[in-house]
Amino acid sequence: MRIMSYNLRMDTPHDGEMAWPHREPAVKWVWEEIDADIVGIQEGLPHQVAALDAWFPRYARVGRGRNADGSGECVAIYYKRDRWTLKETGDFWLSDTPEVPGSRTWGNNIPRIATWARLTDRDGVDWFILNTHLDHQSEEARVRGAEQIVRFLAERVQEAEHVVVTGDFNAQPDTEPMARFLAAGLSDCLAASGEGTFHGYTGTPRARIDYILAGEWVECRAARVVMDKPFDLWPSDHFPIYADLVATRKSAAGVHPSV
């Protein structure tokens, strides 16, 4: 299956000619061109998510806003309705009280959330998808958030499931948050590319901070940083990324034996 991680860049008037209403044609073009089976978005405000829902009705969506009342940015997961059956989904906050909506405790000024989904494809293969957006300011929040996600996967993933984690981690490959993920048995699908993903609407990569991580029994066949500029518009201040994945058999030890 093909999975894409797509930081939409929140709609803000501060972006001027790069604000969301101007970028919409490019956002749609990339989504349709990549034609992923699953898409994990970041920075999706309610009206941006509503636009995606209207543009792409063949996809279903799970995930809520990160604020206590359900508003604010979300890290929704989209999946093709004709390919997947949803078995279970949920959200948790990256904090000492993960079940408390809107909670934050590690130096991050805004709430951070993870959304997950148990999906079965039409061939009967079980997948566990988790999408998140780690904090952009606090290193402690990024490290603790990564540790919390690793613990969650170790506790919740079932033996038959194939794990994929997507997101904007605001962390480069040689940092502590990434070390936590890799130590848990997750592999970086775009490690070989070495290409940056954040470019700030310049087209020149500045940092590699967006990831698709695969569990032990998921093989990455191909992966790409999408640097297209359709209609002479950047879809986002991040380059979207995607990977083509194949499920392989699982061991009795589970996905994260080191956790």
Structure tokens, 87: 């078995």
Mean pLDDT, residues 164-176 taken together:
98
259 pLDDT higher than 90: no
Tell me, yes or no, whether 258 lies in a domain: no
**Predicted local distance difference test score (pLDDT) of residue 10:** 98
Mean pLDDT, residues 141-166 taken together:
97
**Is there a contact between 231 and 239 (Cβ–Cβ < 8 Å)?**
no
Cβ-based burial of 222 (10 A; exposed 0-12, middle 13-18, buried ≥19):
exposed
- Output the 3-class SS for 111-133: CCEEEEEEEEECCCCEEEEEEEE
Which residues form the domain of 18?
2-247
CA dihedral over 15, 95, 51, 79, signed as positive or negative: positive
| CB-CB neighbours of 90 under 10 Å | 16
Tell me, yes or no, whether 87 lies in a domain: yes
Tell me, yes or no, whether 257 lies in a domain: no
**Predicted local distance difference test score (pLDDT) of residue 257:** 36
- For 54-87, write each residue's pLDDT tens digit: 999 999 999 999 999 999 999 999 999 999 999 9
Q: What's the CA gap between 127 and 174, in Å, rounded?
A: 28
Q: What's the N-to-C CA distance of the chain in angstroms?
A: 27
Tell me, yes or no, whether 34 lies in a domain: yes
CA 125 from centroid of its chain's CA atoms: 21
- For 82-132, write each residue's pLDDT tens digit: 999 999 999 999 999 999 999 999 999 999 999 999 999 999 999 999 999
256 pLDDT higher than 90: no
Tell me, yes or no, whether 254 lies in a domain: no
Give how many domains the chain has, as a whole number. Answer: 1
Banded pLDDT at 254 (limits 50, 70, 90): very low
**Predicted local distance difference test score (pLDDT) of residue 250:** 53
Banded pLDDT at 252 (limits 50, 70, 90): very low
Q: Indicate yes or no: pTM above 0.85.
A: yes
Tell me, yes or no, whether 255 lies in a domain: no
Tell me, yes or no, whether 106 lies in a domain: yes
**Predicted local distance difference test score (pLDDT) of residue 11:** 98
CATH classification of the domain holding 241: 3.60.10.10
Please name the amino acid found at residue 254: G
Q: What's the CA gap between 111 and 7, in Å, rounded?
A: 17
255 pLDDT higher than 50: no
Please name the amino acid found at residue 220: C
Cβ-based burial of 16 (10 A; exposed 0-12, middle 13-18, buried ≥19):
exposed
53 pLDDT higher than 60: yes
216 pLDDT higher than 70: yes
The packing angle between helices 176-183 and 139-156, to 10°, is 10
215 pLDDT higher than 60: yes
Tell me, yes or no, whether 173 lies in a domain: yes
Q: What's the CA gap between 39 and 74, in Å, rounded?
A: 13
